[in-house]
Amino acid sequence: MGSPRRGRRRALWGFCALVALTLLGFAVAVLVWSGVTLGGDATALARVEVQPFGGALQSARAFGPDGRRIPLLVRGGRLTPRAMLTPGERVSVVVVVRRPGWLGWLLGSERRERLTLRLPVAQLSARWLTVPFGSAVRVVFERPVSAVAYAVDGSLVRRVLHGTRRSILLGRRAATGSLEVSAAARSWERLGAPVTVSWFPATRAPMLISSPAPGARITPVTPIRLTFSKPVADVLGSALPKLSPSTPGHWRQTDSHTLLFVPAGRGVPLATKLGITLPDAVAISARSGHNLHTTRRIDWTVPPGSTLRLQQLLAQAGYLPVDWTPSADPVARTPQTEEQAAIDPPSGRFNWRYPNIPPELLALWRVGQPNQITRGAVMTFQHDHRLAVDAVAGAQVWAALLADAIAGKRRDSGYSYVYVHRQTPQSLNLWHNGRTILSSPGNTGVPAAPTQLGTFPVFEHIPVGTMSGRNPDGSHYHDPGIRYISYFNSGDAIHAFNRASFGTPQSLGCVELPLAAAAKVWPYTPIGTLVTIEN
């Protein structure tokens, strides 16, 4: 039988062991239930959870990649930004929890947790869609989104959704088209970078959407974007579209379905039809989205420059009786700026270059509108640059005008104008650079073959030639050796002719002058010079 003293000792040791185990269990429980977790959240930026013995959340802070402070709303353990953040942005979150006093004495007064995360990005599941005729266009995202935007009248309009969705209906649209779409996975995120979505009906041949649309008017440097319903490699192989006319620039593939041509230098000449030819036929549709047809060629139109800019350039080059002064800085002498100015002319002011302008010439000038002064100047410019003289400012005229503008070239031979009074005594008056060079009696057409009233540019200028035609009585005439001829209206011309008198109707429509007067007038009447016949 054991000693009572030994039994009491065993009981004491048992009690101490029990207390120790209890304290150990309590310590373990405290350690287990004093944890703090900081992690991501499905709707908020992050979520912090403090267990029962963990203490109290003292602070929560967030920082952007550049160290800027992001204000937070803390509610129910969720940390939600008070400012809009950018999808894909890297954000750091730091929370500080103050432990209870007795636990703080043991483990430290504070516990700090840090989390670095990258904000979610709402990606489209597919960018090239097949949409049956008449059906609405629907886009699908890889994750639910809280806000979406797509182009309306050329600008992205944000729409906040009720809840989150993975698919968005864009409504009924043309059978083919492209649209920029942007989305945000979280309500507190900014919209992501816009992504172009294109849709096509189901067709046998690959479909093509071009921007600008086929047949549209474009500028010389407008980029051409071709988006195919199938990958570019499947449609074109290793070939590239061929441009006509050949245009400086380069093609590049912006994604698996899209080619982009960016013109370089002056780009496509003004007043030109630009075409591309594809290796194989593709299907395209009218702007309505219907009337599908297949083709290998697509065309656009580069219009001529504006009449106003044509006048500005002709004035700068010395071909008009007016000068032009820009309201702001002059157009830079580069191909790109000159091409753009041709389409979108700068503002400025025209001023007559000379004093004593004949009223007949003053009456002809119209700013920004076609008129005979501009027409004659174009003809003179064409003649000086050895172009076909047709009074039309086509691609070659614009190319030469822009080249002269870039080089700063200016014609210095002045401006001439001829006006003829048809009432007796009939006379011809030559005006040049602000003064009358000559006034001479002259003969115009007889009543049976009158000289037509109006203003006409000289279109042929020869020192000597043969003039032939039909007389009013039906007989023919043939006059060789006629001197100083300037044709201005069909068969009518200013020229020398041997007559006994001058100042009355005697010709068959021409303006006849004495030899000495014709010799003086002729050097002043090159091609494009205006001749006005008036009563």
Dump pLDDT digits (tens) for 247-303.
Answer: 999 999 999 999 999 998 888 888 899 999 999 999 987 654 556 889 999 999 998
In angstroms, rounded to a whole number, what is the distance separating the alpha carbons of residues 484 and 468? Answer: 16
In angstroms, rounded to a whole number, what is the distance separating the alpha carbons of residues 37 and 17? Answer: 34
Contact at 8 Å (CB) between 418 and 431? yes
In angstroms, rounded to a whole number, what is the distance separating the alpha carbons of residues 89 and 74? Answer: 20
From the list 370, 320, 323, 315, the residue with the least C-alpha distance to 528 is 320
- What DSSP element (H or E) covers 137? strand 136-152
205-215 in b/e form (b: 16+ CB < 10 A) is bbbbbbbeebe
Instruction: Compute how many other C-beta atoms are within 10 angstroms of the C-beta atom of residue 434.
Output: 14
Q: What is the pLDDT of residue 173?
A: 82
Instruction: Establish how many alpha carbons lie within 13 A of residue 522's alpha carbon, considering only the half-sphere containing its beta carbon.
Output: 20
Average pLDDT along the chain: 90
Q: What is the pLDDT of residue 45?
A: 95
401, two tokens: 């005008």
What's the first-to-final CA gap in the chain, in angstroms? 160
Give the pLDDT band of residue 12 (cuts 50, 70, 90): low
Phi, psi (5° rounding) for residue 483? -100, 150
DSSP 206: P
- What DSSP element (H or E) covers 228? strand 224-228
Alpha carbon 201 to its chain's center: 28
Burial class (CB in 10 A: 0-12, 13-18, 19+), 237: exposed
Strand pairing report for 511-513 and 530-534: unpaired
Q: What is the pLDDT of residue 529?
A: 98
User: Given a cut of 90, is residue 444 above it in pLDDT?
Assistant: yes
What is the tens place of the pLDDT at every residue in 122-169?
Answer: 999 999 999 988 889 999 999 999 999 987 666 777 888 888 999 998
DSSP 256: T
Q: Greater confidence, 171 or 508?
A: 508
What's the helix, strand, coil split of the chain in %, to 5? 20, 40, 40
Q: What is the pLDDT of residue 27?
A: 52
From the list 249, 244, 243, the residue with the least C-alpha distance to 262 is 249
The mean pLDDT value for 516-522 works out to 98
Q: What is the DSSP string of 44-92?
A: SSEEEEE-TTS-EEEEEEEE-TTS-EE-EEEETTEEEESS-B-TT-EEE
- Count of all residues that appear for the chain in the document: 535
What is the tens place of the pLDDT at every residue in 354-398?
Answer: 999 999 999 999 999 999 999 999 999 999 999 999 999 998 999
Q: What is the pLDDT of residue 86?
A: 95
Longest dimension (CA), the chain: 177
Overall pTM surpassing 0.95 (yes/no)? no
In angstroms, rounded to a whole number, what is the distance separating the alpha carbons of residues 340 and 333? Answer: 11
According to DSSP, the residues that pair with 94 across neighbouring strands are 61, 114
Identify the structural domains of the chain with CATH numbers, from first to last: 34-118 (2.60.40), 128-200 (2.60.40), 208-302 (2.60.40.3710), 307-407 (no CATH), 416-534 (2.40.440.10)
Q: If DSSP codes are grouped into helix, strand and coil, which group holds residue 132?
A: coil
Instruction: Compute how many other C-beta atoms are within 10 angstroms of the C-beta atom of residue 473.
Output: 6
